Amino acid sequence: MMWNGLKRLTAECKGEYVPHEMLIINIEGRVYGRKTCVAVCEKFADEESCGSCPIQRAFNRLAEYENLEITLDQIKELDKRYTEKCGQIKEIVKRLEKEAEEARAGGDP
């Protein structure tokens, strides 16, 4: 599952978000349950570090966002402003293209 070009680490399962690798998928490809944290942790317990564990990767991704020191509301506001500015730029480009076309046709801009 992609999210803005970034592969999501988590998916919803029964109202909670868990790493994809913890999901139990049925034969039709639908999520019907999840592995426990203990079961996942035991699978990676023999490794020197937890770095390859899906739970640890999710924590690491969370930390990257927290290290930005920006709130979800701030991100939403930035997205809103970005969308507005893109719309304004699109209108300016349309106007300039129209003026250029008129100038090529010999009319006043």
Contact 52, 9 (CB under 8 A): no
Which amino acid appears at position 49 of this protein? S
The whole-model pTM stands at 0.55
Please identify which residue in the block is written with the tokens 């966002």.
65
- Mapping DSSP onto H, E and C, the string for 3-32 reads ECCEECCEEEECCEEEEHHHEEECCCCCEE
Cα gap 57→49, rounded to integer Å = 12
- The pLDDT, as a whole number, for residue 2 is 47
Phi and psi at residue 29, to the nearest 5°: 85, 15
Give Cα 58 to chain centroid, integer Å: 13
Q: How many other C-beta atoms are found inside a 10 Å radius of the C-beta of residue 38?
A: 9
- In tens digits, the chain (109 residues) has pLDDT values of 545 556 777 878 778 788 888 888 888 877 778 888 788 777 777 766 676 788 888 888 888 888 989 888 999 999 999 999 999 999 999 999 999 999 998 755 5
